[in-house]
Chain A
């Protein structure tokens, strides 16, 4: 068998699977733009003309951005602590990787059990006599953001950790011993070197938060829809596939408008860092 034929046969299964995905992507965009063989923008103008959809889009971006920011704020120190931990680091890694691999349904349900009207916190508060009526801890934005941060921040921690583990501690110590204050060393050494990991983390968390369905449906309020939950309702309850396709395309644009620039930035940063390392 000639080598080129063997190569083609080896690539065939994965190419077929990716082909199915990419053709599906094309058909999704196509089905939202072309109706009965005619170019038709009405799906999109219908979406853009509805104030409730614009509000939902704003809400989705707001919640995704806040989730990403909070994940970064708590994720960076955690990654730093684990990367510099002198003891049994594998145990700490387990505390991050294990929850990350548990199904998001189970983790979101865990928050329902903790925050719900008959949940752990309200149970303890009532039992302790601190309140006689359950406090509303979920079915609002607080519940959604808490749940999303919990579900997604492991992506941030793991992305940053994989970079920090490579940055040698001696670089940082060198900077400090040359008189750099901790804050200065952080800003000039640690932060630039860990930027690729931070950008990967931001990409993943923002992406998954904009397209989340399970966590917002379980922990969010009834009327507080996000793009993902709205798409799910259109498909499951109204069987309105063209509208779902248009909303899914809007979701793709919302996500990729942020993700692609960050990816380009990340490549640029990585190139600058490797140029710097060569000199």
Chain B
């Protein structure tokens, strides 16, 4: 009984602040206050009419897209070597790929400042892409490696023995077999990159800024409801990604162990 009460409260508690942010973004007042003064879309107008906000949104989307693509491709290649070539120390290599997960974000932020400034990439888009690839590899690796383990190598051997060239076998046999895993890796690392803030805020500069970091600095400085509208847009992106992930692989994916 106690379990049930705690569980239901927690399940209501988790989405609560997100729901409140989305609801408060529709206020018509010049500042956030409760009860909400009236409904309007004026803060969405302000957000979408601002060249600054739109540029930052574009940067974040492009960064997440490139980061997710690169780290999924790198993870796929690594998984192929570990699973299909059965390299020695494969399990150790997989553990190394997960190391960014066991470091506190504030420390990773300083590590990346040291790294990027030594090659002059601090405050550049290229630098952010590099860092987001490192941060998303642990998330990209697991789904694609799991898919590769499930796929049957005999199919590839069959295609090869029927005379298919290696590239044709890859495109028409291997790739379709792991497609759900690849799409999951892409979507998962896209979300992680798009929402990342703690490490990224050490690395942005006057020439490059991401949406979550911009939201963070605005919350520190002002109380304008435009932040609520931008936050609601971030929530919308996540909603779309979670919906797609659920369609591609199912929500149980997150609580499965391989």
Contacts and interface: CB of A to CB of B under 8 A. Distances in A.
A235 B254 contact: no
B215 A211 contact: no
11 contacts: A81-B7, A81-B8, A93-B254, A95-B15, A102-B234, A104-B195, A109-B21, A114-B20, A228-B104, A232-B201, A241-B113
Contact of B197 (A90, A104, A111): A104
Which 5 A-B residue pairings sit nearest by Cβ, starting from the closest? A211-B104, A110-B17, A123-B34, A81-B7, A103-B195
Contact of B20 (A94, A98, A120, A214): A120
A11 B96 CA distance: 12
Interface string B214-258: 011001100100011001001100110110001000111011110
A255 B104 contact: yes
Contacts of B96: 18
A253 to B, nearest CB: 10
Interface of B: 2-4, 6-11, 13-18, 20-21, 24, 31-35, 70-71, 73-75, 77-78, 80-81, 85, 87, 93, 96-97, 99-115, 118, 130, 133-134, 137, 141, 191, 194-198, 201-202, 212-213, 215-216, 219-220, 223, 227-228, 231, 234-235, 238-239, 241-242, 246, 250-252, 254-257
B92 to A, nearest CB: 12
Contact of B77 (A13, A92, A96, A103): A13
A78 B234 contact: no
Interface stretch (A33-41, A42-50, A136-144, A160-168): A160-168
A99 interface: yes
Nearest to B116: A24
Interface in A8-48: 9-15, 17-18, 20-25, 27-28, 31
Contacts of A150: 13-14, 17
The A interface, classified by DSSP as helix, strand, loop or mixed, is: helix
Interface string A72-94: 00110110111000000010111
Q: Is the interface of B mostly helix, strand, loop or mixed?
A: helix
A81 B2 CA distance: 10
Contacts of B70: 13
Given A18-B134, A105-B219, A231-B107, 12 more contacts: A28-B107, A31-B114, A93-B251, A96-B14, A97-B254, A101-B242, A105-B216, A213-B198, A217-B220, A248-B106, A252-B104, A263-B102
A243 B134 CA distance: 25
Interface of A: 3, 6-7, 9-15, 17-18, 20-25, 27-28, 31, 74-75, 77-78, 80-82, 90, 92-114, 118-120, 122-124, 127, 150, 153-154, 157-158, 161-163, 165-166, 203-204, 207-208, 210-214, 217-218, 227-228, 231-232, 235-236, 241, 244-245, 247-249, 251-252, 255-256, 259, 263
Nearest to B230: A106
A17 B133 CA distance: 7
Contacts of B202: 232, 235-236
